[in-house]
Amino acid sequence: MKLRITLSVIILIFLMVVYPSLLILLRPYGQGIITIVLICILVMLSFFVFSGVQKLLTYTIYIGFTLLFLFLFPSDYQVLIALISTFVMIVHPLSKFEYYLSKKMSPNFKNPIRIHLSGSYWPYFEYRKAMKAYYHLPQSKKLHKNRWYLIFRQLTTISLLFIGVFMIVNETSNIVNALDAFSITRFFNLYIVFLLILMSYYAYKKGFTTVIRALMIGVFPIIIYVLMTASFDAYFRIPMLIMIFIVFLFILVFEYQRYFDRVTIDVFDYHDEQNNQIVYANSLFEPIIYNDTYILSTHYLIKISLTTFHQQLNTILKYMNKHHIILTAYAYGEQMFHLYADFHFKDREKVDLFKTFLESLFIIGIPYELKEDKHKLLYEKKFYHQKAYIIARAKHLARQLEDVSNEKIIIVSVFMYFDNMDTIESLKKSYNYTYVESMSLDAYYTIKIDVPVPNNSFIIEKTVQDILHVMTENKGQFIRILVSKII
C-alpha cells in the first residue's frame, strides 16, 4: 500500500512540475502530444490507486488499443471508435482476466487504497458515514421494493457513465486530430467528464436528490467559463460574472450548512429492569465502540420529559454533528432524562460547551458525570453486555432486514470468547460453532454460533436467551451479535 501511494505521489508531483513547463516550451503539436499522454497517465493512475494493479493492467490494454486505432484510422471514423471503445470499457470483456490477475497478486497490490484524512477523529467520521447511509436508507429501500425505480437508477448510472467515458475518449480523439491547433481550453471538457462520472457515482450510491445537488453546484463553473469565453460586451459580462459568482458562493455555503443538517439516529429501545429505565441505544455507534480516541464518556442528567427531548432531538444531533460528538445512548426513568455521549480525548472543553448548549436549549441547569473509559468497560456494564440490550439489538436488526429485503428466515450469529478450548468443547452438546481464528489470541479463544430462525420477535428473543444462558453456564464472554439473511 505504501509503495503504491509513494509512487503515485511522486508521479503526480513530477507531472505538476513538468507539464506546465512543457506547455510553455513546446509548440501546439507537442502540446497536444503531451496532453494526450497526461490524460492517459491520470486515468491509469486513478486505476492504480483506487482500483488496484489488476484493473490498471486490464484498462491499460483498453486505452492502448483505443489510442492505436485513433492514430491509425482517418478522422471520419473517430466518433465510431470512441463509441466502440466506450462500450467495450463498460461491458468489460477482460473481467475474467482481471479476476485471474487478482488471484495471483498480493493484497497490497490488488486492494483499493482507502485514504483517510480524519486522523485520530476517525471513529467520528466512521460514525458519520454510517449515519449518512442510514439517512439515505429510504432510497435503498426503493431499490429492493420498487423494480421500476431500480431500473431507472441503473439506466441513469450507466448513461451518465457512458457519456463521461465517451467524452474523454472523444476528446482524446479530437486532440489527436488537431495536434497542430491544440488549445488549452480543451481541458475544460475534462471538468465536464469529471462532473458526469461524479453524478453517475451518486446515482449509483445515494439517489437522484444527491445527483441534483451535485449538478446544481457543478454547473456554475460551466456558466462562468461560457461567460468568460463568449463574445459579450464588458458592461454585460462583468456584472453577470459578479452576480453568478455571488449566487455560487451562496449555494456553496447553503449546501455546506445542509451537509451538517442531514442527521438522523437509529435506536433500539428496551426496558432496563435494574434501573427501571427505558433505554434507547444508538445502533450506529456499535461498530465503533472499541476505539482508542473517543474515550471521554459523559452522562448528562436533564429533568425533562422524554417527549420534550424528542422534540429537540434533531437540533441536538445537528450540534453534535458540527462538533464531532457521538450520541451513544439516552434513557428515561423516574422523571429524569439521561443522555450519554462520547468525546474525543482532546475535546475536554467541548464537554462543558455541550452542557451550556443543552442548558440554553431546555432552560434548565444540567449536571453531568465525566469519566475516561479507554476500554469501554463503563459502556459494556451499562449497555453492551446487558441481556436486554443484546436481545433488543437482535430484534432490531431482524426488523431492519425484513423491512429492506422482506426476509422471513434469518441467521442469528453470536460471537463469544472463552479462556480455554476444553470449555468450548462442552458447547457441542447444545450448539454447533465455528472457531474464529482471526478474533482469537493466546489468552482467549473466539467462536461464533449461527442459528437459523424464523424472523419472529418472540422466537428471536427465546433463541438469544438460550444462547446467552449456555454461554454463561460455560463461563463464556459475549463479544457481539449479528443478524443476516440466508444466502
- Evaluate whether the domain defined by 404-485 bears CATH number 3.30.70.970: yes
| Residue 379 three-state SS | helix
For residue 281, the model assigns a pLDDT of 95
Q: Which DSSP helix (H) or strand (E) runs through 372?
A: strand 368-372
| Residue 418 three-state SS | strand
Task: Look at residue 203 and tell me whether its pLDDT is greater than 70.
Answer: yes
- Per-residue model confidence as pLDDT tens digits over 241-255: 888 888 888 888 888
Residue ranges, CATH 3.30.70.970, the chain: 404-485
For residue 186, the model assigns a pLDDT of 60
Task: Look at residue 173 and tell me whether its pLDDT is greater than 90.
Answer: no
Residues 315/153, Cβ–Cβ less than 8 Å: no
Concatenating the DSSP letter of every residue in 49-91 gives HHT-HHHHHHHHHHHHHHHHHHHHS-GGGHHHHHHHHHHHHHH
Concatenating the DSSP letter of every residue in 75-86 gives GGGHHHHHHHHH
| Section 197-218 average pLDDT | 78
Task: Look at residue 311 and tell me whether its pLDDT is greater than 80.
Answer: yes
pTM of the entire structure? 0.74
The residue that leads in pLDDT, 169 or 438, is 438
Distance of CA 285 to the CA centre of its chain: 15
Q: From residue 62, give the alpha-carbon distance in Å to each of 44, 57, 94, 109, 132.
A: 11, 9, 9, 20, 36
For residue 117, the model assigns a pLDDT of 58
- Per-residue model confidence as pLDDT tens digits over 465-485: 999 998 888 888 899 999 988
Task: Look at residue 100 and tell me whether its pLDDT is greater than 90.
Answer: no
For residue 326, the model assigns a pLDDT of 96
* Per-range mean pLDDT, top range of 71-85, 98-112, 207-221, 302-316: 302-316
Q: Which residues on neighbouring strands pair with residue 412, listed in sequence order?
A: 451, 483
Residues 433/473, Cβ–Cβ less than 8 Å: no
Q: How confident is the model at residue 364 (pLDDT cuts 50, 70, 90)?
A: very high
Q: Sign of the CA dihedral 83, 84, 85, 86? A: positive
* Per-range mean pLDDT, top range of 217-226, 294-303, 418-427: 294-303
The architecture CATH gives domain 267-383: 2-Layer Sandwich (3.30)
The residue that leads in pLDDT, 136 or 480, is 480
Measured from the Cβ of residue 362, the count of other Cβ atoms closer than 10 Å reads 16
* CA gyration radius, the chain: 28
| Section 221-236 average pLDDT | 76
